[in-house]
Amino acid sequence: MTTFPAAGGRFREERDPWWFVVDPLLILSVMAITAMGALLVYSATRGLATELDPADTSFLTRQVFFAVVGAGLGLFAALINIERIRSLVSVTYISTLGLLLGILLFGADINGTQAWYRLGGFTFQPSEPGKLVLIVTLATVFSGDRVGFQRMAAGLLLAGIPIGLILLQPDLGTVLVYIVVTAVMIMMSNISMRLILLLVLAAITAITMIFTSDVLEDYQKDRLTVFVLDDEAVAELGADAVRVAYNAEQSQIAIGNGGLTGTGLFQGTQTSSNLVPEQQTDFIFSVAGEELGFRGAAILLVLFAVVIVRIWRVAVRASDEFDRLMAVGVMSMFVFQVFQSAGMTMGMMPVTGIPMPFVSYGGSSMLTSMIAIGLILGVYRRRFDYVRA
């Protein structure tokens, strides 16, 4: 690739063919994950699929619809000008807070969490796209010169407000995603080690205070600890803890049934019998483990690893600090959600109800994940526009 001088001491690269300004490996990996997710959602929701009870395709149809719409929105996000993104930060942040406030008044309660708006036959969860709003907001705050105490405090405040509103729903899983994204973006910004240590100390203090106060309900605390307790200890915690433990146990049984090669797509006994609650959403990885086996589930995780590595590569090569932090935020969001979602189904992590990107059923999650990839492709594209000399 050659370059030639441009005005102002900058060098503009020659325009490459389109396949050089997109990341084909990233796109193909996302497409493969989405296709696998659609099959798993169909398997989890098709029912018995007999002559008297035909297969239900409504969930599959919606999942594919949201994937296509999400791809279109992702393309738009990839092409949007970076200055346009920055100019919309205040509007999108305030709008997100408004939607989160409205949820507490007008939201639909599903499984004890008031986190959705009902829009005709669809539901919308504003905390999902709110993840991207938080990422772009923090990238704006932390990009530029060295981050001092005031800017760190401003970033924590901007993250703390939506976190507090989501806690009131309450949706602990989404809160954890927001906290992880915020922490990673702060640590990856141009901040001193002294402030990082101060932040770690403050985080430990805050977590201790939360667990020893009434901020979290008892059942929420139980959900975070039940996965390390034996049956007798779980029974002492009450009905909700028993239910959470049951969900995790059935998920582990499903994964165990799969063995190395799996029972075969649409052939899982746990899946077809609906013994794993919320198997099309929170516990979708158990369907992969049962029907595709260890090998199929491992392939799915490898595809996620490819996506994450490509995003990290984009972040490292970003030509702008704002773009770099935005890519880091998206990467941390995906890493935590995949790790938590898979770990939860295997009894390695607490049951928090975090969707697996591109795989779990849900329009809000799918649209958010696709737009996130679009933002990453935008960062990838912009690094070819100018090289600062």
For 37-84, what is each residue's pLDDT tens digit?
Answer: 999 999 999 987 666 677 889 999 999 999 999 999 999 999 998 888
pLDDT at 231: 66
Of 2-11, 31-40, 143-152, minimum mean pLDDT range? 2-11
Q: Which of 356, 293, 304, 268 is nearest to 44 (CA)?
A: 268
Average pLDDT over residues 219-226: 71
pLDDT at 4: 40
pLDDT band (50, 70, 90) for residue 11: very low
How many CA atoms, within 13 angstroms, populate the side-chain half-sphere of residue 208?
6
Is there a contact between 297 and 365 (Cβ–Cβ < 8 Å)? no
pLDDT at 245: 82
Q: What percent of the chain has pLDDT over 70?
A: 87
Token digits of residue 139: 């990238």
Say whether 347 sits in a helix, a strand or coil: coil
CA 247 to chain centre: 21
In the block, residue with structure tokens 């999108």: 92
Q: Which of 154, 143, 151, 157 is nearest to 188 (CA)?
A: 143
pLDDT band (50, 70, 90) for residue 324: very high
pLDDT at 384: 65
**CA 253, 257, 261, 265 torsion: positive or negative?**
negative
Is there a contact between 250 and 234 (Cβ–Cβ < 8 Å)? no
In the block, residue with structure tokens 């100018």: 386
What does residue 23 show for φ and ψ, rounded to 5 degrees? -105, 95
What does the angle CA 96 – CA 125 – CA 70 come to, to the nearest 5 degrees? 95
Do you find a cis peptide bond into 170, omega within 30 degrees of 0?
yes
pLDDT at 230: 64
How many CA atoms, within 13 angstroms, populate the side-chain half-sphere of residue 264?
1
Say whether 220 sits in a helix, a strand or coil: helix
- From residue 349, give the alpha-carbon distance in Å to each of 220, 248, 258, 338, 356: 14, 10, 20, 11, 14
Return d(Cα 101, Cα 156) in angstroms, integer: 19
The DSSP symbol for 118 reads E
Residue count of the chain: 389
The DSSP symbol for 147 reads B
In the block, residue with structure tokens 């369907």: 287
Does the pTM exceed 0.95?
no
* Amino acid at position 378, single letter: G
* Amino acid at position 375, single letter: L
